[in-house]
Structure 1
Amino acid sequence: MSTDGRQGRFEDKVAMVTGAGSGMGAAVARQLAAEGARVVVLADVNAEGVKGVAEELPAGRAVSLDVAAAAAVDATVEDVVRQYGRLDILVHAAGVDDPEVKQWIAEALVEGRQPEVTDRLADEAWHRVMRVNLDGTFHVLRAAVRAMRPARAGAIVVIGSSSVFDTPVGYPHYAASKAGVHALSQAVAKEVIASGIRVNVVAPGPTETGMAARTPEVMRSGFADPRVRPYATPEEIGDIALFLASDAAANLVGAVLLANGGRFTG
């Protein structure tokens, strides 16, 4: 038994994690397996990456999945229920950023001028971020609710973003997509708690993930502030997600937990 008393809190649970090929999703999947989950389905658009993480876990099963593809999400969740009888926990960590726009912002910072993004932002860049972050969240929430309603039980945790609150200059599409994710998740939470399903959100600040690794150094240094904690680790954010998925959070419904190390409060 672990000293913090958490070992086994997901004993015999059937869990699914999107975006599980790296970062926060991978951290969540590893911890679910370590804490007793009977099976952890790891889903990610990066088939090789998610296969590698799944192979570390005795309870792991890898699935290639683009959350923007509604039919594929439905089929994946239906297959989980068909094989394992139910879906107890779903953690939705899949999402995208926009490396090109990050580069535009970095160039502006280096040159000492304000970023100019909105008038340069192409339709496809906007739709790509919305398609994965917002549409993908809807697809995953809908499929999970369909799977969980018959059992009248389940926990869904969605990874949002603190950018909803501080709306970074030059990043309108990302901030808007995550604001939609928060509102969508809270609206669904209010509906489905009557069916015994809890939905909650974690809103991370800067976190050491693959997404952060693609952030230009001038932007990363802008987050450096001796008054607050440094970049979170994926495991730290994963711990919050798993608290929300656990019975200890039974009274949390539609919560958005801001996890940004003290950079600002919501």
Structure 2
Amino acid sequence: MEGEHAGRFGGRVALVTGAGSGIGAAAARRLAAQGAQVLVADIDGQAAQAVAKELPWAYPLTVDVAEPAQVDAAFEEAVRRHGRLDVVVHAAGVDDPAAKEWIAEALRADRPPEVTARLGDEAWRRVMRVNLDGTFHVLRAAVRVMAPHRSGAVVTVGSSSAFDTLVGYPHYAASKAGAHALSQSVAKEAISFGVRVNTVAPGPTETGMAARTPAALRQGFADGRVRPYATPEEIADVALFLASEEAANVVGAVLLANGGRFTV
């Protein structure tokens, strides 16, 4: 129908990871509202289906970004269904609730956190596999699909904690700092093939991940001099700007969206 694909992303095909909740779900909804056909990817298949049902022209995918074969299959499905892929927003990520609780316990007891010595290999690898390896899997698949068409935009969701590292949270900070550097390196390479890669680095944001943060730790993030926790929609809007033609000259950026907590 005439006008059915109207909007900033009218006629575009988008894939969003971590789209079953939080920033990913907000990005999927924003993209659909602005005309995109969206593949809603999440490790929680039921959550992906629930979001996809809200949207026109959407299709759900169950994807663990830590598994390269699943990522590749998702991108292949996008091409099979639509013949191309124009936009990727990579919002999938994990935190470590156990480490957060150790930090909160230390805050309540007014003592320094002791995390690194207690941090097991499996906890370290879980965060790295999803946040860093998963970003590589998504970027690699995106370049493989987009480069032959000489166009495309990829936005990865990093974290302000890569700069203002939280004491007692080394694996999360390292995974996001690595993902930032990875995205910037790929950006320099991919732009030669018409593909733009950028990163949005949120500060505290009201997501399911934040809801699981212990109260003592949330209080530590509170600062009356800056904006409160961002909404997922506010971060999604930054991601959509980076994915849009309005940001045609923005390549390899790590855009802070932390409400003024710090600058770099």
- Indicate the TM-score class for this superposition, using the shorter chain for normalisation: over 0.9
Alignment-derived partner of residue 196 in structure 1: 194
Give the SS at the match of 1:257: strand
- Measure the CA separation in 2 of the matches of 1:54 and 1:241: 19
Alignment-derived partner of residue 11 in structure 1: 10
Which runs of structure 2 are paired with 1:1-266 in the superposition (5 Å)?
Answer: 8-37=7-36, 39-266=37-264
- Measure the CA separation in 2 of the matches of 1:177 and 1:251: 27
What's the Cα RMSD here? 0.6
- Measure the CA separation in 1 of the matches of 2:134 and 2:222: 31
- Measure the CA separation in 2 of the matches of 1:65 and 1:82: 17
Q: Give, as a single letter, the amino acid of the residue that structure 1 aligns with 2:8.
A: R
1:172-223 per-position Cα deviation (integer Å, ceiling 9, x unaligned): 0000000000000000000010100000000000000000000000111111
Q: Give, as a single letter, the amino acid of the residue that structure 1 aligns with 2:69.
A: A
- Measure the CA separation in 2 of the matches of 1:61 and 1:209: 23
1:223-256 per-position Cα deviation (integer Å, ceiling 9, x unaligned): 1111100000000000000000000000000000
1:137-174 per-position Cα deviation (integer Å, ceiling 9, x unaligned): 00000001000011000000000000011110000000
C-alpha deviation, 1:60, in angstroms = 1.3
Give the SS at the match of 1:166: coil
- Measure the CA separation in 1 of the matches of 2:229 and 2:256: 14
TM-score by length of 1: 0.97
Give the SS at the match of 1:50: helix
**Structure 2 runs not aligned, ≥5 long:** 1-5
- Measure the CA separation in 2 of the matches of 1:59 and 1:98: 34
User: How many pairs are equivalent?
Assistant: 259
TM-score by length of 2: 0.97
- Measure the CA separation in 1 of the matches of 2:142 and 2:124: 26
C-alpha deviation, 1:13, in angstroms = 0.1
Q: Give, as a single letter, the amino acid of the residue that structure 2 aligns with 1:109.
A: L
- Bigger CA drift: 7-16 or 92-101? 7-16
Structure 1 stretches of at least 4 aligned residues deviating more than 3 Å after TM superposition: none
Alignment-derived partner of residue 3 in structure 2: none
- Measure the CA separation in 1 of the matches of 2:146 and 2:119: 39
- Measure the CA separation in 1 of the matches of 2:223 and 2:103: 19
- Measure the CA separation in 2 of the matches of 1:198 and 1:57: 26
- Measure the CA separation in 1 of the matches of 2:208 and 2:10: 30
- Measure the CA separation in 1 of the matches of 2:134 and 2:220: 30
- Measure the CA separation in 2 of the matches of 1:59 and 1:84: 11
- Measure the CA separation in 1 of the matches of 2:57 and 2:26: 14
